[in-house]
Structure 1
Amino acid sequence: MKPVMKNEIIDALRNVGLTAGDAVMVHTSLSHIGYVCGGAQTIIEALIDVVGQEGTIIMPTQSWKNLDPATGVHWDVDEQYWDLIRQHWPAYDKNITPTNTMGAVAEMFRKWPGAVRSDHPARSVAAWGKHARYITENHDLCDIFGDDSPVGKLYKLGGKVLLIGVDYDKNTSIHLADVRAEYDSKHNTIEHSAVMEDGKRVWKSYETLFVDGEDFIEIGHAFEEEHVVNKIKLGHGELRCMAQRDLVDFAVKWIENNRK
Protein backbone atom coordinates (compact mmCIF):
# COMPACT_ATOMS: atom_id res chain seq x y z
CA MET A 1 0.00 0.00 0.00
CA LYS A 2 1.15 3.55 -0.74
CA PRO A 3 2.64 5.32 2.29
CA VAL A 4 0.39 7.85 3.99
CA MET A 5 1.96 11.30 3.70
CA LYS A 6 1.65 14.32 5.97
CA ASN A 7 -0.34 16.38 3.47
CA GLU A 8 -2.89 13.55 3.22
CA ILE A 9 -3.26 13.48 6.99
CA ILE A 10 -3.77 17.24 7.13
CA ASP A 11 -6.42 17.06 4.40
CA ALA A 12 -8.16 14.18 6.19
CA LEU A 13 -8.16 16.04 9.52
CA ARG A 14 -9.73 19.11 7.96
CA ASN A 15 -12.25 17.11 5.96
CA VAL A 16 -13.36 15.19 9.04
CA GLY A 17 -14.14 18.45 10.82
CA LEU A 18 -11.06 19.53 12.74
CA THR A 19 -10.43 23.28 12.51
CA ALA A 20 -8.03 25.94 13.78
CA GLY A 21 -8.59 26.72 17.46
CA ASP A 22 -10.24 23.40 18.30
CA ALA A 23 -9.65 21.67 21.62
CA VAL A 24 -9.60 17.97 20.81
CA MET A 25 -8.99 14.68 22.60
CA VAL A 26 -7.15 12.38 20.19
CA HIS A 27 -7.01 8.57 20.29
CA THR A 28 -4.72 6.95 17.72
CA SER A 29 -3.54 3.59 16.42
CA LEU A 30 -0.80 3.91 13.84
CA SER A 31 -0.93 0.22 13.01
CA HIS A 32 -4.55 0.52 11.88
CA ILE A 33 -3.71 3.34 9.49
CA GLY A 34 -0.84 1.56 7.77
CA TYR A 35 2.55 2.91 6.83
CA VAL A 36 2.68 6.59 7.80
CA CYS A 37 5.74 8.32 6.43
CA GLY A 38 7.42 9.68 9.56
CA GLY A 39 5.20 7.68 11.94
CA ALA A 40 4.04 9.25 15.18
CA GLN A 41 5.95 12.46 14.56
CA THR A 42 4.04 13.08 11.34
CA ILE A 43 0.67 12.53 13.01
CA ILE A 44 1.47 15.01 15.78
CA GLU A 45 2.84 17.62 13.38
CA ALA A 46 -0.28 17.32 11.22
CA LEU A 47 -2.55 17.80 14.25
CA ILE A 48 -0.60 20.89 15.30
CA ASP A 49 -0.69 22.30 11.77
CA VAL A 50 -4.49 21.98 11.71
CA VAL A 51 -5.50 23.29 15.16
CA GLY A 52 -2.71 25.88 15.36
CA GLN A 53 -1.39 27.80 18.34
CA GLU A 54 -4.91 28.74 19.47
CA GLY A 55 -5.92 25.09 19.53
CA THR A 56 -5.36 22.40 22.15
CA ILE A 57 -4.47 18.75 21.58
CA ILE A 58 -5.04 16.22 24.36
CA MET A 59 -4.07 12.56 24.45
CA PRO A 60 -4.44 9.90 27.15
CA THR A 61 -1.02 8.95 28.51
CA GLN A 62 -2.18 6.41 31.06
CA SER A 63 0.33 4.32 32.98
CA TRP A 64 -2.25 1.90 34.36
CA LYS A 65 0.35 -0.71 35.33
CA ASN A 66 0.92 1.57 38.30
CA LEU A 67 -2.11 0.00 39.95
CA ASP A 68 -2.42 -2.82 42.45
CA PRO A 69 -1.65 -6.28 40.99
CA ALA A 70 -4.94 -7.54 42.45
CA THR A 71 -6.76 -5.54 39.75
CA GLY A 72 -5.24 -7.78 37.08
CA VAL A 73 -2.82 -5.29 35.52
CA HIS A 74 0.15 -7.57 36.24
CA TRP A 75 -1.40 -10.76 34.89
CA ASP A 76 2.04 -12.11 33.93
CA VAL A 77 3.30 -12.25 37.54
CA ASP A 78 2.33 -14.96 40.02
CA GLU A 79 0.34 -13.79 43.03
CA GLN A 80 3.11 -14.81 45.40
CA TYR A 81 5.17 -11.91 44.02
CA TRP A 82 2.51 -9.20 44.16
CA ASP A 83 3.86 -7.73 47.39
CA LEU A 84 7.22 -7.22 45.70
CA ILE A 85 5.50 -5.14 43.03
CA ARG A 86 3.66 -3.12 45.66
CA GLN A 87 6.96 -2.43 47.42
CA HIS A 88 9.12 -1.65 44.40
CA TRP A 89 7.05 -0.39 41.44
CA PRO A 90 8.57 2.99 40.49
CA ALA A 91 6.71 6.06 41.70
CA TYR A 92 4.96 8.02 38.97
CA ASP A 93 7.08 10.76 37.41
CA LYS A 94 5.23 12.62 34.67
CA ASN A 95 8.52 13.41 32.94
CA ILE A 96 9.72 9.80 32.86
CA THR A 97 6.94 7.25 33.38
CA PRO A 98 6.04 5.62 30.05
CA THR A 99 2.51 5.07 28.79
CA ASN A 100 0.93 1.60 28.81
CA THR A 101 -0.76 0.50 25.56
CA MET A 102 -1.62 4.09 24.60
CA GLY A 103 0.20 3.74 21.29
CA ALA A 104 3.28 5.24 19.67
CA VAL A 105 1.67 8.62 19.04
CA ALA A 106 0.69 9.20 22.67
CA GLU A 107 4.08 7.95 23.86
CA MET A 108 5.85 10.50 21.66
CA PHE A 109 3.31 13.23 22.43
CA ARG A 110 3.93 13.13 26.19
CA LYS A 111 7.51 14.30 25.50
CA TRP A 112 6.63 16.74 22.71
CA PRO A 113 8.07 20.28 23.10
CA GLY A 114 5.48 22.39 24.88
CA ALA A 115 3.35 19.45 26.01
CA VAL A 116 2.44 19.10 29.69
CA ARG A 117 1.20 16.02 31.50
CA SER A 118 -1.21 15.65 34.39
CA ASP A 119 -0.21 14.28 37.78
CA HIS A 120 -2.48 11.25 38.02
CA PRO A 121 -0.15 8.23 38.53
CA ALA A 122 -2.27 5.78 36.53
CA ARG A 123 -4.71 7.80 34.37
CA SER A 124 -2.77 10.84 33.18
CA VAL A 125 -3.30 12.86 30.02
CA ALA A 126 -0.89 15.07 28.12
CA ALA A 127 -1.88 18.29 26.39
CA TRP A 128 -0.33 20.84 24.06
CA GLY A 129 -1.56 24.29 23.09
CA LYS A 130 -3.65 27.15 24.41
CA HIS A 131 -5.50 25.29 27.19
CA ALA A 132 -2.85 22.67 27.96
CA ARG A 133 -2.15 23.77 31.52
CA TYR A 134 -5.84 24.21 32.34
CA ILE A 135 -6.59 20.71 31.05
CA THR A 136 -3.78 19.00 32.96
CA GLU A 137 -3.58 20.88 36.26
CA ASN A 138 -5.05 19.51 39.51
CA HIS A 139 -5.83 16.02 38.18
CA ASP A 140 -7.02 14.65 41.50
CA LEU A 141 -6.33 11.03 42.46
CA CYS A 142 -9.99 10.45 43.29
CA ASP A 143 -11.41 12.30 40.26
CA ILE A 144 -10.03 10.36 37.32
CA PHE A 145 -12.75 11.16 34.79
CA GLY A 146 -15.13 13.56 36.56
CA ASP A 147 -16.22 17.14 35.96
CA ASP A 148 -12.94 18.65 37.18
CA SER A 149 -10.75 16.05 35.46
CA PRO A 150 -9.16 16.62 32.04
CA VAL A 151 -12.14 15.09 30.19
CA GLY A 152 -14.52 17.18 32.28
CA LYS A 153 -12.59 20.34 31.44
CA LEU A 154 -12.71 19.47 27.74
CA TYR A 155 -16.50 19.26 28.09
CA LYS A 156 -16.53 22.78 29.58
CA LEU A 157 -14.48 24.01 26.60
CA GLY A 158 -16.93 22.51 24.12
CA GLY A 159 -14.20 20.34 22.65
CA LYS A 160 -14.12 17.51 20.16
CA VAL A 161 -13.07 13.87 20.13
CA LEU A 162 -11.00 12.46 17.27
CA LEU A 163 -10.61 8.72 16.75
CA ILE A 164 -7.79 7.77 14.39
CA GLY A 165 -7.96 4.08 13.54
CA VAL A 166 -9.60 3.09 16.84
CA ASP A 167 -13.11 2.27 18.06
CA TYR A 168 -15.13 3.66 20.96
CA ASP A 169 -13.52 1.33 23.50
CA LYS A 170 -10.62 3.80 23.36
CA ASN A 171 -12.88 6.83 23.74
CA THR A 172 -11.94 8.13 27.19
CA SER A 173 -14.63 10.81 27.20
CA ILE A 174 -17.36 8.22 27.74
CA HIS A 175 -15.95 7.76 31.25
CA LEU A 176 -17.28 11.25 32.05
CA ALA A 177 -20.75 9.96 31.22
CA ASP A 178 -20.13 7.03 33.55
CA VAL A 179 -19.40 9.49 36.36
CA ARG A 180 -22.55 11.51 35.68
CA ALA A 181 -24.96 8.63 35.10
CA GLU A 182 -26.98 6.98 37.89
CA TYR A 183 -27.45 3.20 37.78
CA ASP A 184 -27.77 0.43 40.34
CA SER A 185 -24.39 -1.27 39.88
CA LYS A 186 -22.40 1.97 40.05
CA HIS A 187 -19.82 1.82 42.82
CA ASN A 188 -16.51 3.14 44.06
CA THR A 189 -13.35 1.15 44.55
CA ILE A 190 -10.04 1.60 46.37
CA GLU A 191 -7.07 1.93 44.00
CA HIS A 192 -3.37 1.92 44.86
CA SER A 193 -0.47 3.53 43.01
CA ALA A 194 3.16 4.35 43.67
CA VAL A 195 3.64 8.11 44.08
CA MET A 196 6.13 10.53 45.56
CA GLU A 197 5.16 12.32 48.78
CA ASP A 198 7.57 14.62 50.63
CA GLY A 199 10.44 13.22 48.61
CA LYS A 200 9.63 9.60 49.41
CA ARG A 201 8.02 6.82 47.40
CA VAL A 202 4.75 5.65 48.94
CA TRP A 203 2.16 3.04 47.91
CA LYS A 204 -0.85 5.35 47.98
CA SER A 205 -4.46 4.23 48.42
CA TYR A 206 -7.29 6.36 47.04
CA GLU A 207 -11.01 5.94 46.47
CA THR A 208 -12.43 6.48 42.99
CA LEU A 209 -15.28 5.39 40.75
CA PHE A 210 -14.82 1.87 39.46
CA VAL A 211 -13.63 2.22 35.86
CA ASP A 212 -15.96 0.35 33.53
CA GLY A 213 -15.65 0.48 29.74
CA GLU A 214 -17.03 -2.88 28.64
CA ASP A 215 -19.99 -1.36 26.79
CA PHE A 216 -18.25 1.63 25.19
CA ILE A 217 -18.30 0.19 21.67
CA GLU A 218 -22.02 -0.48 22.00
CA ILE A 219 -22.55 3.06 23.28
CA GLY A 220 -20.57 4.53 20.40
CA HIS A 221 -22.43 2.63 17.73
CA ALA A 222 -25.77 3.65 19.26
CA PHE A 223 -24.55 7.26 19.32
CA GLU A 224 -23.76 7.12 15.61
CA GLU A 225 -27.32 5.99 14.86
CA GLU A 226 -28.68 9.23 16.31
CA HIS A 227 -25.92 11.80 15.77
CA VAL A 228 -23.75 12.99 12.93
CA VAL A 229 -20.22 11.67 13.27
CA ASN A 230 -17.89 12.83 10.53
CA LYS A 231 -15.92 9.95 9.01
CA ILE A 232 -13.17 9.74 6.42
CA LYS A 233 -10.81 7.01 5.28
CA LEU A 234 -7.07 7.36 5.84
CA GLY A 235 -4.78 4.58 4.72
CA HIS A 236 -6.17 1.27 5.97
CA GLY A 237 -8.16 2.96 8.71
CA GLU A 238 -10.82 5.54 9.41
CA LEU A 239 -11.00 8.89 11.17
CA ARG A 240 -14.06 9.83 13.20
CA CYS A 241 -14.67 13.27 14.69
CA MET A 242 -17.50 14.29 17.00
CA ALA A 243 -18.56 16.92 19.51
CA GLN A 244 -17.61 15.66 22.96
CA ARG A 245 -20.64 17.21 24.66
CA ASP A 246 -23.03 15.42 22.29
CA LEU A 247 -21.29 12.11 22.96
CA VAL A 248 -21.21 12.50 26.75
CA ASP A 249 -24.82 13.70 27.02
CA PHE A 250 -26.00 10.78 24.87
CA ALA A 251 -23.90 8.29 26.82
CA VAL A 252 -25.34 9.40 30.17
CA LYS A 253 -28.86 8.58 28.98
CA TRP A 254 -27.76 5.32 27.34
CA ILE A 255 -26.00 4.12 30.48
CA GLU A 256 -28.97 4.97 32.70
CA ASN A 257 -31.32 3.13 30.34
CA ASN A 258 -29.17 0.06 29.72
CA ARG A 259 -26.84 -0.66 32.62
CA LYS A 260 -28.24 -2.57 35.54
Structure 2
Amino acid sequence: MGERAAVDAVDDPVTADSIAADLRDLGVEAGDTLLVHSALSELGWVVGGPQAVVDALQRVLTEQGTLVMPTHSTQYSDPSVWTSPPVPDDWIPQIRESMPPFRPAVTPTRGMGAVPECFRNYPETRRSRHPLYSFAAWGADAEAVVEGHEFENGLGEHSPLARVTEQDGSVLLLGVGHDSNTSLHLAEYRADIDPDETTAGAPVLRDGERTWVEWTDIVHDSSDFTEVGAAFEREVGATTGTVGAAEATLLDQSSLVEFAVGWLEANR
Protein backbone atom coordinates (compact mmCIF):
# COMPACT_ATOMS: atom_id res chain seq x y z
CA MET A 1 0.00 0.00 0.00
CA GLY A 2 1.52 3.32 -1.08
CA GLU A 3 1.05 6.55 0.84
CA ARG A 4 -1.92 7.70 -1.26
CA ALA A 5 -3.62 4.35 -0.73
CA ALA A 6 -2.78 4.54 2.97
CA VAL A 7 -4.47 7.94 3.22
CA ASP A 8 -7.50 6.68 1.33
CA ALA A 9 -7.77 3.56 3.55
CA VAL A 10 -8.73 5.51 6.70
CA ASP A 11 -11.14 8.31 7.60
CA ASP A 12 -8.71 9.82 10.10
CA PRO A 13 -4.95 9.55 10.63
CA VAL A 14 -3.93 6.46 12.58
CA THR A 15 -2.14 7.51 15.78
CA ALA A 16 -0.38 5.84 18.67
CA ASP A 17 -3.47 6.57 20.77
CA SER A 18 -5.87 5.01 18.27
CA ILE A 19 -3.62 1.98 17.80
CA ALA A 20 -3.48 1.49 21.57
CA ALA A 21 -7.27 1.70 21.80
CA ASP A 22 -7.69 -0.82 18.98
CA LEU A 23 -5.21 -3.20 20.63
CA ARG A 24 -7.12 -3.06 23.92
CA ASP A 25 -10.40 -3.67 22.09
CA LEU A 26 -8.78 -6.71 20.46
CA GLY A 27 -7.88 -8.10 23.89
CA VAL A 28 -4.23 -7.16 24.42
CA GLU A 29 -3.69 -6.39 28.11
CA ALA A 30 -1.07 -4.95 30.40
CA GLY A 31 1.37 -7.63 31.52
CA ASP A 32 0.92 -9.85 28.46
CA THR A 33 3.80 -11.48 26.62
CA LEU A 34 3.10 -10.68 22.98
CA LEU A 35 4.89 -11.90 19.85
CA VAL A 36 4.05 -9.47 17.05
CA HIS A 37 4.24 -9.93 13.28
CA SER A 38 3.29 -6.82 11.36
CA ALA A 39 2.95 -4.97 8.07
CA LEU A 40 2.96 -1.22 8.64
CA SER A 41 1.53 -0.51 5.20
CA GLU A 42 -1.70 -2.34 6.06
CA LEU A 43 -2.57 -0.02 8.97
CA GLY A 44 -3.37 2.97 6.79
CA TRP A 45 -1.66 6.34 7.17
CA VAL A 46 0.11 6.23 10.55
CA VAL A 47 1.30 9.45 12.18
CA GLY A 48 4.96 8.78 13.00
CA GLY A 49 5.06 5.51 11.09
CA PRO A 50 6.60 2.47 12.82
CA GLN A 51 7.53 4.45 15.93
CA ALA A 52 3.85 5.05 16.66
CA VAL A 53 3.15 1.31 16.41
CA VAL A 54 5.97 0.40 18.81
CA ASP A 55 4.95 3.18 21.21
CA ALA A 56 1.36 1.94 21.22
CA LEU A 57 2.34 -1.68 21.84
CA GLN A 58 4.61 -0.73 24.72
CA ARG A 59 1.98 1.56 26.19
CA VAL A 60 -0.64 -1.19 26.22
CA LEU A 61 1.63 -3.96 27.51
CA THR A 62 3.37 -1.69 30.06
CA GLU A 63 6.77 -2.52 31.55
CA GLN A 64 5.15 -5.48 33.33
CA GLY A 65 4.51 -7.09 29.95
CA THR A 66 6.94 -8.29 27.28
CA LEU A 67 6.96 -7.29 23.63
CA VAL A 68 8.70 -9.65 21.18
CA MET A 69 9.31 -9.37 17.43
CA PRO A 70 11.31 -11.39 14.90
CA THR A 71 14.38 -9.47 13.73
CA HIS A 72 15.72 -12.01 11.26
CA SER A 73 18.72 -11.13 9.12
CA THR A 74 18.84 -13.85 6.51
CA GLN A 75 21.35 -11.85 4.48
CA TYR A 76 23.78 -13.35 7.03
CA SER A 77 23.65 -16.79 5.47
CA ASP A 78 25.85 -18.87 3.22
CA PRO A 79 25.74 -17.20 -0.22
CA SER A 80 26.07 -20.60 -1.89
CA VAL A 81 22.39 -21.28 -1.09
CA TRP A 82 20.96 -17.89 -2.03
CA THR A 83 18.08 -18.04 -4.52
CA SER A 84 16.40 -14.61 -4.25
CA PRO A 85 18.48 -13.78 -6.16
CA PRO A 86 21.33 -16.25 -6.63
CA VAL A 87 24.79 -14.75 -7.07
CA PRO A 88 27.49 -15.80 -9.54
CA ASP A 89 29.56 -18.73 -8.30
CA ASP A 90 32.78 -16.73 -8.48
CA TRP A 91 31.31 -14.14 -6.08
CA ILE A 92 30.71 -16.64 -3.29
CA PRO A 93 34.25 -16.80 -1.80
CA GLN A 94 34.54 -13.00 -1.75
CA ILE A 95 31.11 -12.59 -0.11
CA ARG A 96 31.96 -15.13 2.58
CA GLU A 97 35.32 -13.51 3.26
CA SER A 98 34.14 -9.89 3.32
CA MET A 99 30.69 -10.05 4.93
CA PRO A 100 30.80 -8.10 8.23
CA PRO A 101 30.07 -10.24 11.29
CA PHE A 102 26.57 -10.34 12.73
CA ARG A 103 26.28 -7.92 15.65
CA PRO A 104 22.94 -7.79 17.47
CA ALA A 105 23.22 -4.08 18.20
CA VAL A 106 23.76 -2.93 14.62
CA THR A 107 22.94 -5.59 12.03
CA PRO A 108 19.73 -4.63 10.19
CA THR A 109 16.78 -6.93 9.67
CA ARG A 110 15.85 -8.29 6.26
CA GLY A 111 12.29 -8.77 5.07
CA MET A 112 10.79 -8.17 8.51
CA GLY A 113 9.18 -4.82 7.78
CA ALA A 114 9.51 -1.34 9.20
CA VAL A 115 8.12 -2.02 12.67
CA PRO A 116 10.66 -4.68 13.82
CA GLU A 117 13.48 -2.68 12.25
CA CYS A 118 12.39 0.33 14.32
CA PHE A 119 11.78 -1.74 17.45
CA ARG A 120 15.23 -3.33 17.55
CA ASN A 121 16.74 0.15 18.09
CA TYR A 122 14.51 1.08 21.04
CA PRO A 123 16.11 1.69 24.45
CA GLU A 124 16.13 -1.38 26.69
CA THR A 125 15.27 -3.68 23.80
CA ARG A 126 17.32 -6.89 23.86
CA ARG A 127 18.15 -8.91 20.76
CA SER A 128 19.13 -12.56 20.62
CA ARG A 129 22.45 -13.69 19.20
CA HIS A 130 21.34 -15.87 16.28
CA PRO A 131 22.84 -14.43 13.07
CA LEU A 132 19.88 -15.51 10.90
CA TYR A 133 16.87 -15.91 13.20
CA SER A 134 17.23 -13.37 15.98
CA PHE A 135 14.31 -11.95 17.96
CA ALA A 136 14.13 -8.67 19.86
CA ALA A 137 12.29 -8.27 23.15
CA TRP A 138 11.40 -5.47 25.54
CA GLY A 139 9.80 -5.49 28.97
CA ALA A 140 9.73 -7.56 32.13
CA ASP A 141 10.92 -10.87 30.64
CA ALA A 142 12.91 -9.59 27.69
CA GLU A 143 16.22 -11.05 28.81
CA ALA A 144 14.68 -14.44 29.58
CA VAL A 145 13.11 -14.55 26.10
CA VAL A 146 16.27 -13.80 24.11
CA GLU A 147 19.06 -15.37 26.18
CA GLY A 148 20.58 -18.70 25.21
CA HIS A 149 19.42 -18.62 21.58
CA GLU A 150 21.38 -21.50 20.07
CA PHE A 151 22.50 -21.48 16.45
CA GLU A 152 21.54 -25.09 15.79
CA ASN A 153 17.81 -25.52 15.10
CA GLY A 154 17.42 -21.77 15.46
CA LEU A 155 13.60 -21.67 15.61
CA GLY A 156 13.31 -24.68 17.90
CA GLU A 157 13.48 -25.54 21.59
CA HIS A 158 16.38 -23.22 22.42
CA SER A 159 14.91 -20.21 20.66
CA PRO A 160 12.83 -17.22 21.78
CA LEU A 161 9.79 -18.93 20.25
CA ALA A 162 9.97 -21.64 22.90
CA ARG A 163 10.57 -19.05 25.61
CA VAL A 164 7.41 -17.17 24.59
CA THR A 165 5.51 -20.43 24.98
CA GLU A 166 6.91 -20.83 28.50
CA GLN A 167 5.68 -17.30 29.29
CA ASP A 168 2.13 -18.24 28.22
CA GLY A 169 2.50 -15.72 25.41
CA SER A 170 0.16 -14.70 22.63
CA VAL A 171 0.72 -14.06 18.93
CA LEU A 172 -0.53 -10.90 17.25
CA LEU A 173 -0.79 -10.92 13.46
CA LEU A 174 -1.07 -7.25 12.55
CA GLY A 175 -1.89 -6.88 8.88
CA VAL A 176 -0.22 -10.19 7.99
CA GLY A 177 -1.35 -13.79 7.66
CA HIS A 178 -0.20 -17.09 9.10
CA ASP A 179 2.39 -17.41 6.35
CA SER A 180 4.36 -14.90 8.46
CA ASN A 181 3.65 -16.69 11.75
CA THR A 182 7.06 -17.85 13.01
CA SER A 183 5.53 -19.85 15.87
CA LEU A 184 4.50 -22.46 13.33
CA HIS A 185 8.18 -23.17 12.75
CA LEU A 186 8.43 -24.29 16.37
CA ALA A 187 5.75 -26.86 15.55
CA GLU A 188 7.90 -28.14 12.68
CA TYR A 189 10.57 -29.16 15.21
CA ARG A 190 8.10 -30.75 17.60
CA ALA A 191 6.08 -32.67 15.01
CA ASP A 192 7.04 -36.18 13.98
CA ILE A 193 7.45 -35.32 10.30
CA ASP A 194 11.14 -36.14 9.64
CA PRO A 195 12.14 -32.91 7.85
CA ASP A 196 15.25 -32.66 5.74
CA GLU A 197 18.34 -31.15 7.37
CA THR A 198 20.77 -28.58 6.04
CA THR A 199 24.05 -26.96 7.06
CA ALA A 200 23.90 -23.22 7.62
CA GLY A 201 26.67 -20.72 8.22
CA ALA A 202 27.33 -17.07 8.98
CA PRO A 203 30.07 -14.74 10.26
CA VAL A 204 29.88 -13.79 13.95
CA LEU A 205 32.12 -12.13 16.52
CA ARG A 206 33.92 -14.43 18.97
CA ASP A 207 36.36 -12.91 21.43
CA GLY A 208 36.37 -9.81 19.28
CA GLU A 209 37.36 -11.69 16.13
CA ARG A 210 35.30 -12.33 13.02
CA THR A 211 34.63 -16.08 12.79
CA TRP A 212 32.66 -18.08 10.24
CA VAL A 213 30.51 -20.60 12.10
CA GLU A 214 28.39 -23.46 10.78
CA TRP A 215 25.55 -25.45 12.29
CA THR A 216 22.77 -27.84 11.32
CA ASP A 217 19.09 -27.01 11.05
CA ILE A 218 15.97 -28.40 9.50
CA VAL A 219 14.77 -27.20 6.11
CA HIS A 220 11.87 -24.91 6.98
CA ASP A 221 8.70 -25.03 4.91
CA SER A 222 6.02 -22.37 5.37
CA SER A 223 4.05 -23.31 2.25
CA ASP A 224 1.18 -24.81 4.28
CA PHE A 225 1.18 -22.31 7.17
CA THR A 226 -1.86 -20.48 5.80
CA GLU A 227 -3.77 -23.77 5.87
CA VAL A 228 -2.58 -24.56 9.39
CA GLY A 229 -3.62 -21.14 10.67
CA ALA A 230 -7.02 -21.29 9.01
CA ALA A 231 -7.66 -24.72 10.52
CA PHE A 232 -6.65 -23.46 13.96
CA GLU A 233 -8.94 -20.46 13.76
CA ARG A 234 -11.79 -22.67 12.56
CA GLU A 235 -11.36 -25.49 15.07
CA VAL A 236 -9.86 -23.76 18.13
CA GLY A 237 -10.51 -20.08 17.62
CA ALA A 238 -8.80 -16.71 17.69
CA THR A 239 -9.81 -13.12 18.30
CA THR A 240 -10.06 -10.98 15.19
CA GLY A 241 -10.59 -7.28 14.68
CA THR A 242 -8.99 -4.23 13.13
CA VAL A 243 -6.10 -2.04 14.16
CA GLY A 244 -6.20 1.08 12.05
CA ALA A 245 -7.13 -0.27 8.63
CA ALA A 246 -5.36 -3.60 9.19
CA GLU A 247 -6.94 -6.94 9.90
CA ALA A 248 -5.59 -8.21 13.21
CA THR A 249 -5.62 -11.67 14.76
CA LEU A 250 -4.77 -12.45 18.40
CA LEU A 251 -4.24 -16.07 19.43
CA ASP A 252 -2.72 -18.16 22.18
CA GLN A 253 0.73 -19.29 21.12
CA SER A 254 1.01 -22.57 23.01
CA SER A 255 -2.42 -23.70 21.80
CA LEU A 256 -1.42 -22.80 18.25
CA VAL A 257 1.83 -24.75 18.42
CA GLU A 258 0.15 -27.80 19.95
CA PHE A 259 -2.54 -27.76 17.27
CA ALA A 260 0.01 -27.26 14.49
CA VAL A 261 2.04 -30.25 15.64
CA GLY A 262 -0.97 -32.53 15.17
CA TRP A 263 -1.95 -30.87 11.91
CA LEU A 264 1.53 -31.23 10.42
CA GLU A 265 1.75 -34.88 11.47
CA ALA A 266 -1.58 -35.58 9.81
CA ASN A 267 -1.15 -33.52 6.65
CA ARG A 268 2.49 -33.03 5.75
Question: Aligned partners of 2:244, 2:148: CA distance in 1, in Å?
Answer: 38
Rounded Cα–Cα distance in structure 2 between residues aligned with 1:76 and 1:205: 20
Q: How far is 1:73 from its partner?
A: 5.3
CA distance in 2, matches of 1:235, 1:53: 24
Match of 1:197 in 2: 206
- 1:148 Cα deviation after fit: 2.5
Q: Distance in 2 between matches of 1:78 and 1:148?
A: 35
Report 1:1-260 matches (<5 A).
1=8, 2-72=12-82, 75=85, 77-184=87-194, 186-259=195-268
User: What whole-Å deviation, never above 9, does each CA across 1:166-211 have from its counterpart, x for those lacking one?
Assistant: 1111111111100100114x12211011111232212211112222
Between the two proteins, the alignment pairs up a number of residues equal to 258
Q: How far off its partner does 1:140 sit?
A: 0.6
| Counterpart code for 1:207 | T
Residue 242 of structure 2 aligns to a residue whose secondary structure is strand
Structure 1: give runs of 5+ residues left out of the alignment. none
Give the letter aligned to residue 198 of structure 1.
D
Report if aligned partners of 1:64, 1:123 keep a CA contact under 8 Å in 2.
Answer: yes
1:19 is paired with a residue whose SS is coil
Percent identity, please.
Answer: 40
C-alpha RMSD of the superposition:
1.3
Q: Once the two structures are superposed, what CA deviation does each residue of 1:83-113 show, in whole Å capped at 9, x if it has no partner?
A: 2111111100011100001111100110101
The worse-fitting range, judged by mean Cα deviation, of 23-32 and 64-73 is 64-73
> What is the TM-score normalised by the length of structure 2?
0.93
| Residue identity in the other structure for 1:137 | E
> Are the equivalent residues in 2 in contact too, given 1:19–1:51 (CA < 8 A)?
yes
Counterpart secondary structure, 1:113: coil
CA pair 213-175 structure 1, distance change in 2 beyond 3 A: same
- Say whether the 8 Å CA contact 2:18–2:244 is kept in structure 1: no
Kept in 2, the 8 Å contact 1:64–1:73? The answer is no
Three-state SS of the structure 2 residue aligned to 1:44 is: helix
Asked if 2 retains the 8 angstrom alpha-carbon contact of 1:67 and 1:73, the reply is no
Which moved further from structure 2: 13-22 or 66-75? 66-75
